[in-house]
Structure 1
Amino acid sequence: MTESLLTTYDSLLFDLDGTVWEGGRLLPHAQKYLTTASIPVMYITNNASRGPEVVAEILTKLGVPTDERHVVTSAQAAVEFAQQRLQPGDPVYVLGSESFKNLARHGGLRVVDSADDNPKAVLHGHNPETGWAELSEAALSIRNGAYYFASNLDTTLPMERGLMVGNGSMVAAVTTATGVTPLSAGKPEPAMFHSAAAKVQSTRPLAVGDRLNTDIAGGVAANMDTFHVLTGVSRHWALVHAEPTERPTYIAEDLRGLDLPAAELTPHAQAGFAARRADDNTIVLTSGDASGGGAVEALRTVLAVAWTDPSAGFTGEVVPADAGAERALAGWQ
């Protein structure tokens, strides 16, 4: 019997936004795989606006029974970063949600409300309520010498209406005002991946996500195999031009790929498609007898050619050589 991804690995480390849910609702097929997986499931999220217990509660209400021990947030990782550099009781300014502030308090740090309290560090996480006043207090604190830690640098946040402003975009405002780039605790740093795997004693985890520069790059940095789904931020064209550090091991349309053989999901010519690099640095795609192939099969075929350079991303174009290839490329985003 051919092994699927679910039988190849001993745990699944899921991203949330764009992979499991979007705008407060589960994405198609998520409930099935999250509730029936025969291996441990962990959730790793760069969204620092909710505590791990809240994330678990939301998943449970959506039909995916979960407890906080199976959730790792970037806010937790940011607090750990601060703990490594500060002393218990040191003042910190937390630019984020109340749950982030509580994590800092539980970590032995003293949360203050103003730059006038001389915080030793600024912890910056996503909070929809963040405005000019909070950003300014953070900037003043950093200019006074405070460390700057960000839970993550995601510039966008997938929501039901589309891509909203993410924490990284808010961080950019503070960085512009201070000239200081924060140390980021979240993805693509590997810390959360190692922490999640350790919690379930996993030695062969699979990182699952939708964003190349965080979910996939983080898994790669943690020396883990990665599974990319086309349900969130990074779609077909982003994969074609992916940098070497952001290239997933497996690619599928959605989480149904977990049931497929691992070899089927890797970049290679398949379903009758063929790709070749032309002299002008374009990739020419032909469909051949690809009657059962579609956009994803064409994508994996192209990636086998686009990703041949281990030191740089592909910068050319992909062009169809026939009507079947043209139809497949029309399905790319």
Structure 2
Amino acid sequence: MTGVHDVLLLDLDGVVYVGPHPVAHAADRIAAARRGGLRVAFVTNNASRAPADVAAQLRDLGVSAQAADVVTSAQAGAAVVAGLVTSGGAVLVVGAPALQDAVTDRGLRPVATAAHRPAAVIQGFGPDVGWRLLAEGAYALADPGVVWVATNTDLTIPTPGGIAPGNGSLVAVLATVTGRTPVVAGKPEPALLIEAVNRTAAAQPLVVGDRLDTDILGAVRAGLPSLLVLTGVTTVPALLAAGPQQRPTYLAADLRGLDAAQPAATVLTDDRSVCGTASAAMAGDRVEVTVADGGGDGLDGLRAVAALTWARTDLGLPTDVTGLNVAALVPPNESGTAAER
């Protein structure tokens, strides 16, 4: 893959780190990719943190990063607003200071009340967003001519204390009050990835993520190839059940897959597929897998099963994967994440 693409658009949580912990092999594989001539952008739906803060966290985890390497949904949202309103216009910011900075960087004027008659409302997660600021957003959005952009619509966020409301939950508050629907910048909508492509001047970018419903779907919507790594939340059953819009171009256990050539999985008939040294075949409605000498990087069996399962799903044919030995299809995962389940 490193010989085909020029820029890696890397998701963060589940790809580079999981919570406070680095993902095994991520830092050294990112460094190796750079030595091989690839450029790297770290692309995040998080709109509450400034790029410099994200870069500092990455450096603490052993990943070389500068603020210019980070692309956030706040920046993408501000770019969307800038394309819809007059330069210098007032924008009501319902979010964190990092979102205000992104608006300012686009030549717009952030404000905090509807009394300023804003041309747009931009909404992103901020831990200090409260009733008064949400109310100002509702007042402004009562004017149907005011543009409404949400940086992302993630309903929840993980915190040290547990799962908490995310920006999507607060967007739902304004949607309920106003009866309106915002333009969304973050994944799985394409604006964030397009912003990353524009900022990096990428000619052949590769989106790398761990989530089918944001990273891979976002790549498909943006018309970009994608690599799913099994170091985050995606399980094997979820991968095999993926619809056409959530199927990755490539599959790897972790970022070491960037160095590996991936054999294409070929569906030979509606009951048999092959990939490298592996094959998948139907025995009635059940899938059986055969893998010779480890199947390359250990994932050829899973690639063959996925190709066959997806093809049969698209044809409306039954495919029972409940009897598959998932542990045999996925190499041991040093990050202890969801793939082996």
Give me the TM-score of the superposition, normalised by structure 2.
0.81
Kept after mapping to 1: 8 A contact 2:73/2:192: yes
- Once the two structures are TM-superposed, the CA of residue 87 in structure 1 deviates from its matched residue by 2.0
Aligned residues with identical type, % of pairs:
38
Work out whether 1:115 is the aligned partner of 2:114.
yes
Residue 126 of structure 2 aligns with an amino acid whose one-letter code is N
Match of 1:300 among 288, 303, 311: 303
Structure 2 match to 1:61: 60
- Given the superposition, is the C-alpha separation of residues 214 and 89 from structure 1 closer, same or farther in structure 2, using an over 3 Å criterion? same
- Once the two structures are TM-superposed, the CA of residue 98 in structure 1 deviates from its matched residue by 0.4
Quick one: distance in 2 between partners of 1:314 and 1:160? 44
Kept after mapping to 2: 8 A contact 1:82/1:149: yes
- Once the two structures are TM-superposed, the CA of residue 93 in structure 1 deviates from its matched residue by 1.6
- Once the two structures are TM-superposed, the CA of residue 228 in structure 1 deviates from its matched residue by 0.4
Quick one: distance in 2 between partners of 1:18 and 1:128? 22
Work out whether 1:30 is the aligned partner of 2:26.
yes
Residue 202 of structure 2 aligns with an amino acid whose one-letter code is S
Query: 1:140-155 counterparts in 2 under 5 A?
Result: 140-145=139-144, 146-155=146-155
Structure 2 match to 1:232: 232
Residue 168 of structure 2 aligns with an amino acid whose one-letter code is G
Residue 177 of structure 2 aligns with an amino acid whose one-letter code is A
Structure 2 match to 1:176: 176
Residue 286 of structure 1 aligns with an amino acid whose one-letter code is E
- Given the superposition, is the C-alpha separation of residues 101 and 272 from structure 1 closer, same or farther in structure 2, using an over 3 Å criterion? same
Kept after mapping to 1: 8 A contact 2:154/2:168: yes
Residue 21 of structure 2 aligns with an amino acid whose one-letter code is R
Work out whether 1:318 is the aligned partner of 2:321.
yes
Residue 285 of structure 1 aligns with an amino acid whose one-letter code is V
Kept after mapping to 2: 8 A contact 1:285/1:302: yes
Structure 2 match to 1:285: 287
Work out whether 1:47 is the aligned partner of 2:46.
yes
Work out whether 1:167 is the aligned partner of 2:167.
yes
- Once the two structures are TM-superposed, the CA of residue 292 in structure 1 deviates from its matched residue by 4.0
Q: Can you list the C-alpha shifts for 1:280-307, whole angstroms capped at 9, x where unaligned?
A: xx5x122446684799555323211222
Structure 1 match to 2:15: 19
- Tell me the C-alpha RMSD between the 2 structures: 3.3
- Given the superposition, is the C-alpha separation of residues 47 and 311 from structure 1 closer, same or farther in structure 2, using an over 3 Å criterion? farther
- Once the two structures are TM-superposed, the CA of residue 204 in structure 1 deviates from its matched residue by 1.8
- Once the two structures are TM-superposed, the CA of residue 170 in structure 1 deviates from its matched residue by 2.6
Structure 2 match to 1:255: 255
Residue 107 of structure 2 aligns with an amino acid whose one-letter code is G
In the comparison of the two structures, how many residue pairs are matched? 323
Structure 1, unmatched stretches of 5+, are none
Query: 1:62-211 counterparts in 2 under 5 A?
Result: 62-145=61-144, 146-157=146-157, 164-211=164-211
Kept after mapping to 2: 8 A contact 1:240/1:306: yes
Residue 172 of structure 1 aligns with an amino acid whose one-letter code is A
Kept after mapping to 2: 8 A contact 1:277/1:305: no
Kept after mapping to 1: 8 A contact 2:190/2:218: yes
